[in-house]
Amino acid sequence: MYQILDGQEWRHIWVVSDIHGCWQQLMDELKQRHFNPYEDLLISVGDLIDRGPDSVKCLQLMHEKWFRAVRGNHEQMALDALGNNDFALWTINGGIWFSRLSNPQKLTAIALLEACRELPHIIEILCANGLNVIAHADYPESVYVRDKSVSKKRVLWDRSRLSGLMAGRGEGITGADHFWFGHTPLEKRYDFNNLHYIDTGAVFGGTFTLAQLQ
């Protein structure tokens, strides 16, 4: 469930908002930042797939040495669909691309989707800016503790903390210097103390948010 990384292994480190199949747009953003695949690291807050034009290409990023990702709810919907042979929920939430693939393409996609089972729910990384925790939707506790058992469903889906914070109530999280989340498309990045919500709706005509940690 947890993956621990040492930021000293890379020169520069970025965390990126929900990718959702927007492979070319992401490549353009990395080029603008002079991203070096031999020295730098990109960490995704999850939702590599669905809605955008290149879900397979985005899944293939998992094989790149310069890329890490936490699991998003869209990866989980795909895994559940494959496991239960019930594609209805995934399809209506952006998974229609899978049904349009040829049979050989589907085999490739299935292998890549099955690899998503290895994606952690939470990444912890110590960088120049301090201790960072990356998860898709939330870390569903008031204090972060490495390897603590927490609700996987809430990590992938929960919006209650963000909704509360935006309404002027709710609590933050201690135990790390920065927490990075995606999942909820926003017009602009939302920061509440050490909590950072960075899904700025690239696939919906918005932009990618790339926050540099180091």
pLDDT in tens, 103-148: 999 999 999 999 999 999 999 999 999 999 999 999 999 999 999 9
Q: What is the pTM of this model?
A: 0.97
* Contact assessment for residue 22 and residue 9, using Cβ atoms and an 8 Å cutoff: no
Sign of the CA dihedral with 166 first, then 195, 68, and 78 last: negative
Residue 28 makes CB contacts below 8 A (sequence gap 6+) with none
3-state secondary structure of 31: helix
Residue 170, pLDDT > 90, answer no
The predicted structure's pLDDT at residue 131? 98
Report the alpha-carbon distance of residue 19 to residue 119 in Å, rounded.
15
- DSSP secondary-structure letter at 107? H
Report the alpha-carbon distance of residue 201 to residue 148 in Å, rounded.
31
Residue 159, pLDDT > 90, answer yes
* Contact assessment for residue 62 and residue 72, using Cβ atoms and an 8 Å cutoff: no
Average pLDDT, whole number, for the chain?
97
For the annotated catalytic residues, the residue numbers are: 74
Strand intervals (E) in the chain: 2-6, 13-16, 41-44, 67-69, 122-127, 130-135, 178-181, 190-192, 195-197, 210-212
Report the alpha-carbon distance of residue 111 to residue 160 in Å, rounded.
34
Residue 47 makes CB contacts below 8 A (sequence gap 6+) with 18, 19, 20, 72, 73, 74, 75, 136, 182, 183
